[in-house]
Amino acid sequence: MTCVPWPGHGAAVRTPCWPGSLTRLPAAICPPTDVTSSRCADRWSRRSTCSTPCRNQAMVDVLVFGPHPDDIEICAGGLVLTLVERGYTVGGVDLTGGESGTRGDAHTRHAEGQRGAELLGLSFRECLGLADGGIRNDEPSRDLVIDVIRRHTPRLVVAPVAIDHHPDHSRSGVLVKEARFLAGCARIGPPGAPHRPGRTLFYPSRELVEPSLIVDISDVFDAKLRAVRAHASQLHAAGSDELPTMIASEGFLTMIEARARHYGAQIGVTHGEPFVVDGPLAVNDPVPAVRDGPQSVFL
């Protein structure tokens, strides 16, 4: 993979990178092999801008969006592992770097995100550099999401459900939903061939939802927890004097398992992940969805 300029623009264009408080940040929107490139690594500074953004061009079957670096693992890690195990290519996109979180810093969270990506088997992980705690469904933000969808041409998009208590999560759901549609409009958004993924799966965080489908993650649940544990700065540490958060509570991993067992029980398996789909699903052959026990029509 290579780092290439934003299509259709010259070096004078100023595009926001990762807003943060550190002097120099890793090039999270580049694949790991490109981080040392002089065109990438030296462009990061305090609330800096990047005149030639580095842009991964890999095409994938599924593109999963998370508001923060740990959300993909926590909310959709089982789905990702299941898809990868079945031979699909999956990419991850963090809308923010999590730089405003109560715990951890931008460097730490970037490293944890890359480790989580490895454990999930993601083909790549990018960060779009939106403001942590300040995600907005505005035109500049939509253009970034439109661009990433057009670059990677996924068949399926996965994003947070738009009814979350965390404003970054709920706004992310609306942002990705609208950008998915607009990415297929040739005269809207940044330069690039139009591409509209078939559907969007929406995942909940803590909210109980009536799922459109539940993915059986029983065989990969332990692997999902290993990926979640990659985000150690966010989790409970005995004797820590850092400010408490829900994720850092001693029982958080137990909560994840309880939730997975709740949804798994609804389809007769030990662990499940719920997803919501807008509108009905088109199925030519319903038999695979019900034969040999509950299965998702997507898998």
* 53 pLDDT higher than 90: no
- Of 32 and 80, the structure prediction assigns the larger pLDDT to 80
> Percentage of the chain surpassing pLDDT 90?
51
Q: Name the DSSP letter for residue 102.
A: S
Which pLDDT score, from 0 to 100, does residue 279 have? Answer: 84
Give the range of the structural domain holding residue 62, as residue numbers without chain letter: 56-290
Condensed to tens digits (0 to 9), the pLDDT of residues 151-166 reads 999 999 999 998 877 7
d(CA 92, CA 63): 6
Instruction: Establish if 43 belongs to a structural domain.
Output: no
Instruction: Establish if 157 belongs to a structural domain.
Output: yes
Instruction: Establish if 141 belongs to a structural domain.
Output: yes
Query: 251: Cβ–Cβ under 8 A, 6 or more apart, which residues?
Result: none
Which pLDDT score, from 0 to 100, does residue 160 have? Answer: 95
Instruction: Establish if 26 belongs to a structural domain.
Output: no
Instruction: Establish if 263 belongs to a structural domain.
Output: yes
* 34 pLDDT higher than 50: no
CB 288 within 8 A of CB 295: yes
Instruction: Establish if 13 belongs to a structural domain.
Output: no
The structure's pTM equals 0.78
* 240 pLDDT higher than 90: no
Residue with tokens 């909310």: 75
d(CA 276, CA 147): 24
Using alpha carbons only, what angle is made at residue 214 by residues 96 and 127, rounded to the nearest 5 degrees?
A: 15
Q: How far is CA 34 from CA 2, 31, 37, 54, in A?
A: 7, 6, 5, 9
d(CA 203, CA 75): 6
Condensed to tens digits (0 to 9), the pLDDT of residues 57-106 reads 889 999 999 999 889 999 999 999 999 999 999 999 999 987 766 666 77
Instruction: Establish if 21 belongs to a structural domain.
Output: no
Q: Name the DSSP letter for residue 281.
A: P
Collapsing DSSP to helix, strand or coil, 96 comes out as strand
> Percentage of the chain surpassing pLDDT 70?
71
Instruction: Establish if 170 belongs to a structural domain.
Output: yes
Please state the φ and ψ torsions of residue 130, each to the nearest 5 degrees: -70, 160
Which pLDDT score, from 0 to 100, does residue 100 have? Answer: 65
Which pLDDT score, from 0 to 100, does residue 244 have? Answer: 56
d(CA 275, CA 120): 18
Which pLDDT score, from 0 to 100, does residue 25 have? Answer: 32
CATH number, domain at 205?
Answer: 3.40.50.10320
d(CA 199, CA 232): 33
**How many domains, in total, are found in the chain?**
1
